[in-house]
């Protein structure tokens, strides 16, 4: 009788276990619906959206340049039914696919949806940089998106004869309070409007009085006392393209800086600004 009772318990456990496995395997995971590109901003950023379906844990999005083979793209996940993808190649077409995950089960992929590049963009701007160990992949001129017809501007100094080209990247371009903004301003004299490697100084002229490229960093952190940034002894600017026919300037930069605490007078640093890149249209009327 004891052996028979044990056998009944074992059979019961096996039946329950198999039933549980069968339930897991048969969870339904519906395809995402109404997958679409909501916004294509400044030719480098895409906002995607879709309808939220029942039982979904999260979604995976795969993307790469148009025509890529699935499995070779970049995959990101989202727990809400929207996602923003920054730092795309400028004015390039991308394919985007999506699938849902429900428990341990994935739906099939659907897509692609594809952004449509503009044939002749008039004005664009994108700067990236790693500032004090934090990567910023979408820096544009302050209030860019409100005023998008001047990616660059021309600056004149009373003590220097030639004009300077200003290239500006702000990490929070729509935040008028500037509470948590990081802003980099590169100033390039006309004599350096050409492909080459240049010293990136802190003043508009070097020790000999000649115009030189220089940088200004505005550094605000809402989690610390007000600070003022001072650019350091090292800086380098590399212009990789200066094209007046296509009206574009591209390049890279890096520099060091220190931070001065306005309340305590304490100075910290030096810190690095590394891996800076910029690609801007020369849309100031000076180049017309």
The answer to whether the pTM exceeds 0.75 is no
Sorting pLDDT into bands at 50, 70 and 90, what band is 235? very high
Q: CB–CB of 269/287 below 8 Å? A: no
Q: Count CA within 13 A, CB hemisphere, residue 250.
A: 6
Domain ranges within the chain, ordered by starting residue: 33-114, 125-287
Q: What is the DSSP string of 175-244?
A: -TT-TT-EEEEEEEEGGG-SSEEEE-BSSSB-TTS-B--EEEEEE--TTS--EEEEEEEEEEEEEEEEET
The pLDDT tens digits of the residues spanning 25-59 come to 556 799 999 999 999 887 788 999 999 888 899 99
DSSP conformational letter for 285 = G
Q: CB–CB of 254/232 below 8 Å? A: no
The pLDDT tens digits of the residues spanning 248-278 come to 999 999 999 999 999 999 999 999 999 999 9
The residue among 150, 92, 155 whose CA lies nearest residue 125 is 150
Task: Give the mean pLDDT of the chain.
Answer: 87
What backbone phi and psi angles, to 5 degrees, belong to 230?
-120, 120
Per-residue pLDDT, averaged over 132-137, amounts to: 93
Sorting pLDDT into bands at 50, 70 and 90, what band is 11? very low
Six-digit token string for 138: 């979408």
DSSP conformational letter for 263 = T
CA distance 133 to 128: 13
> Which has the minimum average pLDDT: 10-14, 88-92, 118-122, 183-187?
10-14
Per-residue pLDDT, averaged over 218-245, amounts to: 91
Identify the residue whose tokens are 């929070």.
Answer: 172
The pLDDT tens digits of the residues spanning 53-79 come to 888 999 999 999 999 999 999 999 999
Task: Indicate the SS3 state at residue 39.
Answer: strand
The pLDDT tens digits of the residues spanning 84-114 come to 998 788 788 999 999 999 988 999 999 999 9
Strand partners, 35: none
**Residue 35: Cβ-neighbour burial (10 angstroms; 0-12, 13-18, 19+):** buried
CA distances from 235 to 64, 114, 257, 280 (A): 34, 39, 9, 20
Q: What is the CATH architecture assignment of 33-114?
A: Sandwich (2.60)
Q: Give the neighbor-by-neighbor strand order of the sheet with 196-199.
A: 134-139, 125-131, 267-281, 248-261, 227-243, 196-199
């Amino acid at each position: 009788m004891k052996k028979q009772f044990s056998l009944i318990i074992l059979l019961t456990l096996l039946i329950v276990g198999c039933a549980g496995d069968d339930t897991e395997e048969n969870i339904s995971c519906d395809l995402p619906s109404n997958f679409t590109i909501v916004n294509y901003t400044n030719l480098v950023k895409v906002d995607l959206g879709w309808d939220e379906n029942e039982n979904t844990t999260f979604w995976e999005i795969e993307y790469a340049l148009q025509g890529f083979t699935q499995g070779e793209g970049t995959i990101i996940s989202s727990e809400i039914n929207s996602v923003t993808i920054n730092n795309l190649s400028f004015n390039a077409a991308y394919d985007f696919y999506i699938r849902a995950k429900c428990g341990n089960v994935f739906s099939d992929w659907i897509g692609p949806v594809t952004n449509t590049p503009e044939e002749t963009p008039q004005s664009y701007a994108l700067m990236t940089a790693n500032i004090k160990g934090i990567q910023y992949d979408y820096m544009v001129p302050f209030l860019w998106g409100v005023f998008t017809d001047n990616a660059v501007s021309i600056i004149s100094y009373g003590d220097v004869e030639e004009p300077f080209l200003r290239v500006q990247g702000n990490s929070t371009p729509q935040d008028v309070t500037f509470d948590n903004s990081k802003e980099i301003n590169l100033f390039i004299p006309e004599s350096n409007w050409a492909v080459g490697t240049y010293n990136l100084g802190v003043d508009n002229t070097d020790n000999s009085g000649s115009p030189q490229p220089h940088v200004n960093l505005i550094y605000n952190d809402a989690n610390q006392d007000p600070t003022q940034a001072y650019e350091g002894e090292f800086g380098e600017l590399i212009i990789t393209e200066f094209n007046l026919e296509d009206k574009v300037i591209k390049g890279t930069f890096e520099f060091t800086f220190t931070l001065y605490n306005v309340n305590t007078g304490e100075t910290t640093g030096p810190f690095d600004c590394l891996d800076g890149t910029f690609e801007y249209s020369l849309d100031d009327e000076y180049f017309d």
